[in-house]
Structure 1
Amino acid sequence: MTEKKTRHVTDAETLKAVTHPLRVKLLGTLRVLGPATASELGRRFGESSGSTSYHLRILAKYGFIEEDPEQPNARDKRWRSVHWGTSWSNAELQQDPAGAEAARAMRRRQLELLIESSERYEADIDSWGPVWQEAAGLSDHFARMKATTVNELRERVHALVREYAERDRDTKGTEMVQVYLGTFPLDESQIQ
């Protein structure tokens, strides 16, 4: 398979197409677990295959996914992601009210997924054992930086995640992990 790149979205309509809660999950699952059919995804998320099929067609219409060229049979259509990630410019989208709302909706979806992941981990923490209990967690940092420095930091973190994932790809004892990075300017009077 060829190296997948990040999809940089520049318009509100395309970004809005992926903001639907089920579409975000479908796209994420195809990115992480690989190709799947509407029926397989429907079972995973407790949805009908008709519902997942509809949302998969929307994702395909906007270029996030495509039919997998290696179909298992003529009856079941398997889908795959086209890109490993989605990005957008908050500043560019902020210039258009529809773009600003689409970007806000995506940030809300990201936060919802972070909360869901954290709650799932907390509910199952005993099943992970001490090594993973110690490795998992959240942290926060307060630092004074320029916006350009924050952009550089974000790019370096993304590169480190890719580097470490590649290093451990075929190593025994690995688990799928989610790495979240949030950077927000903060008025010092709001620090709690």
Structure 2
Amino acid sequence: MNDSFHVTDPRALKAVAHPLRVRLLGALRSQGPATATELAAMFGESSGSTSYHLRQLAKYGFVEEDSEQRDRRERRWRAVHAYTSWSNLELAGTPEGREAVAFMRRRQLELLRSGVEAFDRDSASFGPEWIEAAGMSDDIARLTPASVATLYARVSAMVKELEEHDKDAPDTERVSVFVSAHPVRGYVG
């Protein structure tokens, strides 16, 4: 799987911004290849619906047929890239692009919320070290746009470095790491 897919076409971002498609892509990225039928069962959809949406994701380069099919009767799909990125400024040039970017931001917030809620429900099953380590923090800092870009790059590099460091540790878990930086004016709270 390639590292990142940089979307420049608002139609491609709009295609992946569909609520079911973004979930299908997320499942293929996090859980590996699957059939339309397996994904349909996971999301309570019909296999016809998931099959259609997988073909749409393939049309824009987000997924492809998995080269390692278990048998000739099934059609397994896999994510092509680990991440999707885009330029907010570039896509802000059209109403379609602005709408897709706004949807993707809301979707990221939904994922953050659902992940936090799932951890809260199941925290006892993770043990005291994870209960202590898991959490959130926030800061208000005066930064330039260039410094915010540097912040994202450094956090991403650090996550990859720590993932490599921990790859053989027995107590690893998949961890959701969110970084969000937006300018604010006035009181935030």
Using structure 2 for the length normalisation, give the TM-score: 0.95
CA-CA distance at 1:145 after TM superposition: 0.7
Letter in 2 for 1:121: F
Name which of structure 1's ranges 37-46 and 6-15 shifts more when overlaid on structure 2: 37-46
Coordinate RMSD, CA, aligned = 1.2
Q: Deviations over 1:8-61 (max 9, x none)?
A: 001111000111122111111111221111112122222222221111111111
Residue aligned with 2:77, SS: strand
Residue aligned with 2:124, SS: helix
Residue aligned with 1:84, SS: strand
Superposed, which structure 2 residues align to 1:21-170 within 5 Å?
A: 21-170=19-168
CA-CA distance at 1:149 after TM superposition: 0.4
Residue aligned with 2:5, SS: strand
Name which of structure 1's ranges 118-127 and 177-186 shifts more when overlaid on structure 2: 118-127
Residue aligned with 1:118, SS: helix
CA-CA distance at 1:102 after TM superposition: 1.0
Match of 1:178 in 2: 176
CA-CA distance at 1:5 after TM superposition: 2.2
Residue aligned with 1:5, SS: strand
Greater than 2 Å deviation, 4+ residue runs: none
Match of 2:188 among 179, 182, 191: 191
Q: In 2, distance between residues paired with 1:58 and 1:4?
A: 19
Structure 2: gaps (5+ residues) = none
Letter in 1 for 2:187: Q
Match of 1:17 in 2: 15
Count of aligned pairs between the two proteins: 189
Letter in 2 for 1:191: V
CA-CA distance at 1:171 after TM superposition: 2.1
Structure 1: gaps (5+ residues) = none
Letter in 2 for 1:54: Y
